[in-house]
Structure 1
Amino acid sequence: MNNERDNTIAKYVPDRLDRDIISHLRSDGRASLSKLSDTLGIARGTVQKRLDRLIDTGTLMGFTVRVREDYEDDRVHAVMMIEVVGKSTTQVIRKLRGLPEVYSLHTTNGNWDLVANIRTSTLSEFDRVLREVRMIEGVSNSETSLLLSSV
């Protein structure tokens, strides 16, 4: 069953309407089906079917809350560059996605294979996350920078 779902996800490419729906949800994640329908000039049922498909294929992974910049000033924010050994990138990504403190994860080019945005409540939690990441099989090297202030 997972293979079928994986194949569906791999084959699905969002079209212009899907991208418009996602764009509106990025600016207002709480928009109702009726509001999206009115804004986009399409039937409410079409919006529902498109949202269902975007969620089923994994294109939309959930809905979130946006907060003002200074809301999390007391949190520890960092960027971690990660080097992966051999062909273990997929397994490393899977493990990193399982850490709730990894806010976002990106592949990149250059000397590093992955860039992780890490957020924790305290420095001791941050230290624990660094240790956990470095213990993941396939992680061969990392470099982390704390984000001190936004300018």
Structure 2
Amino acid sequence: MTKEKKRDPLSPFDATDRELIALLKRDARAPISVLAEVLKLSRGTVQNRLDKLFASGALLGFSVRVRDDFDPNSVRAVMMIEVAGKSTSQVILRLRRIPELEKIHTTNGGWDLVAEICAANLQEFDRVLRDVREIEGVLNSETSILLSTV
């Protein structure tokens, strides 16, 4: 049994694909049979959609999520970055080489980029800040350490 949903003309994926991804974000270990039951689709259809999502690059893989307090010595922070002129692409390429930068976002407003940092300790955190600030094209940055999640 299949269920068709409207497709957004601007996206190669339909509402069912987005719902499948949302389910996997909540539980990446969910069996295909459970996903099929929730989506009211056959197991084969769910598997085909997963294959399509992987082939397209929309799904990159599965990962482990760890509580923020799992490693009490780690330092988590958000860094806002101002970039010179049209050097954003080059700066992003350099930022991606820093493994402690878990995510990098473009943004609007006073800052050009926002980076999520997770360093093993304060010494590594300090090194990451230095590494980012030494990248050619980075004009300014402001970093806020995340103290607790509420």
**Is the 1:12–1:57 contact (alpha carbons within 8 Å) kept by the matching residues of 2?**
no
* Aligned equivalent of 1:120: 119
Q: TM-score, normalised by structure 2?
A: 0.83
Single out whichever of 109-118 and 66-75 deviates more from structure 2: 66-75
* Aligned equivalent of 1:6: none
Superposition RMSD in Å: 1.9
Structure 1: any 5+ residue segments left out of the alignment?
Answer: 1-10
Q: CA deviation at 1:135?
A: 2.2
Instruction: Report SS of the residue matched to 1:50.
Output: helix
How has the CA–CA distance of structure 1 residues 55 and 136 changed in structure 2, closer, same or farther, with 3 Å as cutoff? farther
Corresponding pairs, count? 141
Deviations along 1:87-115, one digit per CA (max 9) or x if unpaired, are 22222223222322112221111110011
Q: CA deviation at 1:12?
A: 5.4
* Aligned equivalent of 2:74: 75
Instruction: Report SS of the residue matched to 1:25.
Output: helix
d(CA) in 1 for partners of 2:55, 2:136: 30
Report the residue type matching 2:115 in the other structure.
Answer: A
d(CA) in 2 for partners of 1:49, 1:92: 38
Matches within 5 A, 1:124-139: 124-139=123-138
Instruction: Report SS of the residue matched to 2:70.
Output: helix
* Aligned equivalent of 1:22: 21
Structure 2: any 5+ residue segments left out of the alignment?
Answer: 1-9
Which has more helix, going by share of residues?
1
Moved over 4 A (4+): none
Instruction: Report SS of the residue matched to 1:34.
Output: helix
d(CA) in 2 for partners of 1:51, 1:91: 33
d(CA) in 2 for partners of 1:60, 1:43: 20
* Aligned equivalent of 1:92: 91
* Aligned equivalent of 1:107: 106
**Is the 1:104–1:116 contact (alpha carbons within 8 Å) kept by the matching residues of 2?**
yes
Report the residue type matching 2:91 in the other structure.
Answer: V
How has the CA–CA distance of structure 1 residues 98 and 43 changed in structure 2, closer, same or farther, with 3 Å as cutoff? farther
How has the CA–CA distance of structure 1 residues 57 and 73 changed in structure 2, closer, same or farther, with 3 Å as cutoff? same
d(CA) in 2 for partners of 1:45, 1:88: 46
Single out whichever of 24-33 and 56-65 deviates more from structure 2: 56-65
Larger radius of gyration: 2
d(CA) in 1 for partners of 2:34, 2:147: 39
Deviations along 1:41-74, one digit per CA (max 9) or x if unpaired, are 2122222222222223222222122233422332
d(CA) in 2 for partners of 1:31, 1:45: 15
Q: Percent identity?
A: 58
Q: CA deviation at 1:125?
A: 0.8
